[in-house]
Amino acid sequence: MNAAANKDSSQFRVLIPEDRLQARVSELGEQIRRDFGDRPITCICVLKGSFIFTADLVRAVGGAIETEFLGVSSYHGGTQTSGVVQITKDLTTTIEDKDVIVIEDIIDTGLTMHYLMEMLAVRKPRSLSVCTLLDKPANREVEMVADYVGFSIPDEFVVGYGLDLGERYRNLPHIAVYTP
């Protein structure tokens, strides 16, 4: 366990409260369903950070949805990206000819999503889109523009609603900024 993850809650400041999060997730769901009409959508939940967002989003999108899970490890417990992307769990189905949306918790340097897009594109989906709850555009190392963005946030380390610090705080119902 990262020592920082045991610190007191005074180091956390609410950035996006629960009601704003939920309202935005509903909007994103409606927008996605409008864009795809009644076509089936394959949602790929990028583990672990987007598991809560995915659970709420697939219900907000409604209609025909398949949900797949992709295990990715790009951080190793701290607040800095390592730049190394490791696949810890692959999809259990083919995505060929499917309308695919990759669901992320946050795009920071863009390295993880860049890697995933290349990896998934060779599997020949009919379409491949990205939906991220949070975007930190200030910190990009590679170009990456998501099709659907919940909130654009400043370059600060955030936790909650699936996002962790040393595996903790994923269960907060809001997004909070962690200040070391």
- b/e per residue, 107-140, with b = 16+ CB within 10 A? bbbbbbbbbbeeebeeeebeebbbbbbbbbbeeb
Give one DSSP letter per residue of the chain, joined into a string.
--GGGGS-GGGEEEEE-HHHHHHHHHHHHHHHHHHHTT--EEEEEEETTTHHHHHHHHHHH-SSEEEEEEEEE---SSSS--S--EEEE--SS--TT-EEEEEEEEESSSHHHHHHHHHHHTT--SEEEEEEEEE-GGG-SS----SEEEEE--S--EEBTTB-BTTB-TT-SSEEEE--
CB of 81 to ligand IMP, least distance (A): 4
95 binds ligand IMP (CB under 6 A): no
67 binds ligand IMP (CB under 6 A): no
Site string for Mg ion, 105-144 (x = CB under 5 A): x---------------------------------------
Q: Which is nearer to ligand IMP, 82 or 94 (CB)?
A: 82
What, of ligand IMP, Mg ion, none, does residue 29 touch, CB below 5 to 8 Å by kind?
Answer: none
Tell me if residue 35 is catalytic. no
Options 2, 26, 31, 81; binder of ligand IMP; rule CB under 6 A? 81
Question: What's the CA gap between 85 and 72, in Å, rounded?
Answer: 7
Q: Which is nearer to Mg ion, 36 or 112 (CB)?
A: 112
108 binds ligand IMP (CB under 6 A): yes
From 2-10, 59-67, 117-125, 156-164, give the range in contact with ligand IMP by CB under 6 A: 156-164
49 binds ligand IMP (CB under 6 A): yes
49 binds Mg ion (CB under 5 A): yes
| Contact positions vs ligand IMP (CB under 6 A) | 49, 74-75, 81, 104-113, 157-159, 163
| Contact positions vs Mg ion (CB under 5 A) | 49, 105
